[in-house]
Amino acid sequence: MPTMTLLQAINDSLRTEMRRDNRVILMGEDVGVNGGVFRTTEGLYSEFGPDRVMDTPLSETGIIGAAIGMAVYGLKPVSEIQFADFIYPAFDQIVSELAKFRYRSGGEFPCPVVVRTPYGGGIRGGLYHSQSPEAYFTHTPGLQVVIPSTPYDAKGLLASAIRGEDPVIFMEPKKIYRSVKGDVPDGEYTVPIGPARVVQSGTDLTVFCYGAMVDVCEKAARKIQEEGYSVEIIDLRTLYPLDEETILNSVVKTGRAMVVYEAPKTCGYGAEVAALIAENVIDSLEAPVKRVGGFDTPFPYTLEYVYVPHPVRVYQAMQEVLQYQ
Amino acid sequence: MSEPLLQVMQDDAKKVTLPPGLSEADLKTMYEGMVAIRVYDERSLKLQRSGRIGFCVTSFGEEATQVGTVAALQDIDWIFPSYRQYGVPMYRGVQLEDMASHLYGNKFDLAKGRQMPAHYTFKDKRFVSISSVIGTQIIQAVGCAMAARIKGDNCIAATYFGDGATSSNDFHSGLNFAAVYRAPVLFFLVNNQYAISLPVKKQSGNELLYKRAEGYGVPGIRVDGNDVIAVYQATKEAAERARNGEGPTLLELFTYRAGSHSSSDDPSRYRSQDEMDSWKKKDPIERMKRYMQKLGIWSEAYETEIWESFRERINQFTTAAEEQPEPSWESLFEDVYAQMPASLERQKDQLIARESGLELSNEGEFPL
Ligand SMILES: Cc1ncc(C[n+]2csc(CCOP(=O)(O)OP(=O)(O)O)c2C)c(N)n1
């Protein structure tokens, strides 16, 4: 089985799905000749040509709006927004249109558009090349929100997104585009949208995370395990629809929970996980649920390493939750 | 394409005379302004290549679009730039140490280390804080110009943006509002022919971008953006009209992005060496130099003098900036609001109290 980076796995998934189904087309800024600014679409323009790999004008609302029209007609567009920070010009097309097409037409017009976008810190990109806007989209009924953290999942989840019948916001943790490597099967396979992944099982504490934070949590867990604790790490993978069963079962087992994410803490995705736990299994809790997120500020440049949850901050939070009496 | 292009410097002209309204000293000031940008770019690229700053943007080949415009504006005029116009505040005499501090995002950076390099902010030069989000400044400049008119002030606003930005929502709202309200605003459309990898034909069915203006009811003009005097004269005229209440103008400054889009970009993936070489011949600094030679106001000694003195000054400031500490962790929480909300204050206090003793390393490694 070939070993791939996250980036290569995404590229491989796009290529595989485009070969499998000629209705799949890509569009975005610099995705064609240039192969994407991160090279996720490298080689696809030369293989599939300008009708299926489209370099678009600099208009995010155009990239999404046109994809909606194509999907309504019967194509399977995969739109790339170059950085999640630049998705806001298309917010209207995503939130008012893409998410609501099926519902407002009584099911007549499904809109299976996949929106791929790199998100999060990790490249010292400051305010506008680092944001994690996932919660805006999980708050929008009609959208599925998917975030892979391994090459295997990236390929399989993207394939599911492309083959699916509903719109998917597919967010790619750019911090680990090249740093994470793993085995990726040749050819076609899918990983279903929905189920979370147990990264490691444990009995004292459950840590919920996704994207680049999985690696951060694993680092922190290794440290706290030296102190004799047993930590369960769950990679949510799909933020909507959420795998409530896996989350709640794990908390019932461990009795302690925390959520780690890069976005500003307040009203970030961790709030949803914490509320879900409180609503359903509060009696199982032996400590308050803890959120470790970014601070409630825009994303900084020089102090990025202070802002993004760092293994040390996660480790400290683990200590707090584990030692709570 | 055969198209109108306002030009003053004709390369084949044997003899030239001083352009009207400009003195020898003016020409030298403009020339030096362009050289300063070139030196700054060379330096920042070197710092980036050697890993001493994280990122940089350069404006190689686009010096005349900055200097020619700002020289024709007044210091009271407001600027809403993109990331490629730091030559404008340089020309207005901004402190070089402030620019260098921003490259490093250090404690003395006016943006407090919050933005990537090339996102300057200089309120005292009326140079408004820069967003990375393409096009957003265009309509903001129009609002600023409307405000100046409402208040009866004599200043105008100017906004700079690229050919790519003409595809943005805010290009449309900007032109539209400006026309409806006859706002005293200048739109400097810096057509450097690329938006990262994408040529103008990927942005517009009509590559003569200045023609967009007409549809909005705004005068549009196409100027040789590598001819600093043409840029100056066109700006001067348009600015006068705006100041006289005659409304906005769009100036397409036709030029070439001679460098890469940013330090993260490799242009050889999408354009030919021949194309890049052909534009070297039209370099705005070289052209101005030849023009000044013909006027007899240029000498080797002068040339050496200005390059060396800029190099020395810029190196001195970047070296000093490198030694400055990063912004304090407390500063991360400032300026989100006028008054820090209690919840944010708590986040700050927790970080400082519990974690400042621990070393969070830049690499995300576990330092314990
Ligand atoms: C809304 C938005 N979309 C995408 C980007 C990514 N991006 C940064 S610069 C750029 C190209 C801009 O081209 P142009 O407007 O011609 O200006 P130039 O860089 O050539 O000066 C793109 C696509 C962005 N910054 N903002």
Which tens digits make up the pLDDT trace of B70-115?
A: 999 999 999 999 999 999 999 999 999 999 999 999 999 999 999 9
Span B131-180, pLDDT tens digits:
999 999 999 999 999 999 999 999 999 999 999 999 999 999 999 999 99
Contact assessment for residue A115 and residue A170, using Cβ atoms and an 8 Å cutoff: yes
Q: Work out the pLDDT band at B356, boundaries 50, 70, 90.
A: low
The answer to whether the CB atoms of B354 and A316 lie below 8 A apart is: yes
pLDDT at B2: 65
pLDDT at position B355? 59
Whether A22 contacts chain B with CB within 8 A: no
Q: What is the DSSP letter of A194?
A: S
- Compute the mean pLDDT over every residue in chain B, rounded to the nearest whole number: 95
Q: Is the CB of B252 under 6 A from ligand 1?
A: no
Task: Please indicate whether, in this complex, the C-beta atoms of A37 and B116 are within 8 angstroms of each other.
Answer: no
- Other CB atoms closer than 10 Å to residue A109's CB: what's the count? 14
Return the H-helix or E-strand segment holding B195. Answer: strand B194-195
CB B217 within 8 A of CB B183: no
Tell me whether A130 touches chain B (CB under 8 Å): no
Sorted by sequence, the CB contacts under 8 Å of residue A263 that are 6+ apart come out as A131, A132, A133, A134, A135, A269, A293, A294
Among B109, B198, B326, the residue with its CB nearest the CB of A29 is B198
pTM, to two decimals: 0.96
Shortest Cα distance, chain A CAs vs residue B270, angstroms: 6
**A227–B contact, CB cutoff 8 A:** no
- What is the length of chain A? 325
Residues 89-108 of chain B whose Cβ lies under 8 A from any Cβ of chain A: 105-106
CA distance B80 to chain A (A): 18
ipTM value of the model? 0.95
| Measured distance CA(A140)–CA(A90) in Å, rounded | 14
Contacts of B264 in chain A (CB under 8 A): 37
pLDDT band at B367 (very low <50, low <70, confident <90, very high): very low
d(CA A148, CA A81): 17
Residue A86 with chain B: CB contacts under 8 Å: 133-134
Shortest alpha-carbon distance between residue B105 and chain A (Å): 6
What's the gap in Å between B262 CA and the centre of ligand 1? 10
What are the residue ranges of CATH 3.40.50.970 in chain A?
A: 3-183
Burial (CB count <10 Å: 0-12, 13-18, 19+), residue B295: middle
User: Which of A34, A35, A305 is facing B360, going by the closest CB pair?
Assistant: A305
Question: Which residues of chain A have a CB within 8 Å of the CB of B332?
Answer: 295, 297, 300, 303, 306-307
- Cα(B135) to ligand 1 centroid in Å equals 8
Helices (H) and strands (E) in chain B, counts: 12, 7
Mean pLDDT of B310-331: 96
How does residue B364 score in pLDDT terms, banded at 50, 70 and 90?
very low
The answer to whether the CB of A4 falls within 8 A of the CB of A12 is yes
Rounded to an integer, what distance in angstroms lies between the CA atom of residue A212 and that of residue A122?
A: 9
Q: Which residues contact B358 (CB under 8 A, 6 or more apart)?
A: A312, A316, B367, B368
Q: What is the CATH number of domain B24-322?
A: 3.40.50.970
For ligand 1, the distance from its centroid to the CA atom of residue B54, given in whole angstroms, is: 19
B8 — phi, psi (to 5°)? -115, -45
Using DSSP's 3-state secondary structure scheme, residue B127 falls into strand
CATH number of A3-183: 3.40.50.970
Q: Is A82 in the pocket of ligand 1 (CB under 6 A)?
A: yes
Find the distance separating the first CA and the last CA of chain A, reported in whole Å.
47
Per-residue confidence in pLDDT tens, chain A, 325 aa: 899 999 999 999 999 999 999 999 999 999 999 999 999 999 999 999 999 999 999 999 999 999 999 999 999 999 999 999 999 999 999 999 999 999 999 999 999 999 999 999 999 999 999 999 999 999 999 999 999 999 999 999 999 999 999 999 999 999 999 999 999 999 999 999 999 999 999 999 999 999 999 999 999 999 999 999 999 999 999 999 999 999 999 999 999 999 999 999 999 999 999 999 999 999 999 999 999 999 999 999 999 999 999 999 999 999 999 999 9
The secondary element (H helix, E strand) that includes residue A293 is strand A290-294
**Positive or negative torsion for Cα B250, B254, B255, B256:** positive
Q: How far is the CA of B165 from the centre of ligand 1 (A)?
A: 7
Q: If DSSP codes are grouped into helix, strand and coil, which group holds residue A181?
A: strand
Which residue, among B34, B127, B74, B68, has the nearest Cα to B253 in the 3D structure?
B68
Of B133, B343, B360, the CB nearest to A306: B360
CB atoms < 10 A from the CB of A298, how many?
18
Q: Taking CA B219 as the corner, what is the angle to CA B215 and CA B220, rounded to the nearest 5 degrees?
A: 85
> Residue B13: how many CB atoms within 10 A of its CB?
12
Q: Whose CA is nearest to atom 6 of ligand 1?
A: A82
Question: What does chain B come to in residues?
Answer: 368
| Confidence band, pLDDT 50/70/90 cuts, at residue B284 | very high
Query: Of B87, B38, B65, B88, which Cα lies nearest the Cα of B223?
Result: B65
Amino acid in position A285: L
Cα dist. B189→B46, B62, B171, B234 in Å?
28, 12, 10, 13
Q: Which residues have a Cβ under 8 Å from the Cβ of B332 and sit 6 or more positions away?
A: A295, A297, A300, A303, A306, A307, B348, B351
Among B106, B198, B365, beta carbon nearest to A55: B198
Q: Which residue type occupies B183? A: A
Residues of chain A with CATH 3.40.50.920: 197-323
B116 touches chain A (CB under 8 A): yes
Residues A185, A214 contacting (CB under 8 angstroms): no
> Which long-range contacts link A160-163 to residues 24+ away (Cβ below 8 Å)?
A160/A190, A160/A191, A160/A192, A160/A193, A161/A114, A161/A193, A162/A13, A162/A17, A162/A21, A162/A24, A162/A76, A162/A78, A162/A114, A163/A17, A163/A21, A163/A190
Contact A182, A155 (CB under 8 A): no
pLDDT at B304 over 80: yes
Residue B217 CA to ligand 1 centre (angstroms):
26
- What's the CATH number for A197-323? 3.40.50.920
B75 contacts chain A (CB < 8 A): no
What spacing in Å lies between the alpha carbon of B134 and ligand 1's midpoint? 5
Is B169 in Cβ contact with A307 (below 8 Å)? no
Q: What is the number of other CB atoms lying within 10 angstroms of the CB of residue B346?
A: 12
Atom of ligand 1 nearest to the CA of A128: 25
Residue ranges per domain, chain B? 24-322, 329-364
Nearest-angstrom CA–CA distance, A6 and A239: 19
Pocket flag, ligand 1, residue B163 (CB < 6 Å): yes
Instruction: Using pLDDT thresholds of 50, 70 and 90, give the confidence band for residue B358.
Output: low
Contact A33/B at CB under 8 A: yes
CB-CB contact of B168 with B175 (8 Å): no
Indicate the SS3 state at residue B123: helix
For chain A, the 3-state helix, strand and coil shares in percent, each to the nearest 5, are 40, 20, 40
181-200 in B: which are within 8 Å (CB) of A?
195-198
Separation between Cα atoms, residue A305 and residue B360, nearest integer Å? 7
Residues of B designated as active site: 257, 261, 270
Q: Which pair of structure tokens corresponds to residue B243?
A: 């100041």
DSSP bridge partners of B161: B189
Q: What mean pLDDT comes out for the span B200-222?
A: 97
The size of the A-B interface in CB pairs under 8 A is 147
CB of B194 closer than 6 angstroms to any ligand 1 atom: yes
In whole angstroms, give the CA distance from residue A149 to residue A153: 7
All residues of chain A having their beta carbon less than 8 Å from the beta carbon of residue B113 are 300-303
**CA-wise closest residue to B236 among B3, B84, B90, B30:** B30
Q: What's the confidence (pLDDT) of residue B176?
A: 98
Shortest Cα distance, chain B CAs vs residue A35, angstroms: 9
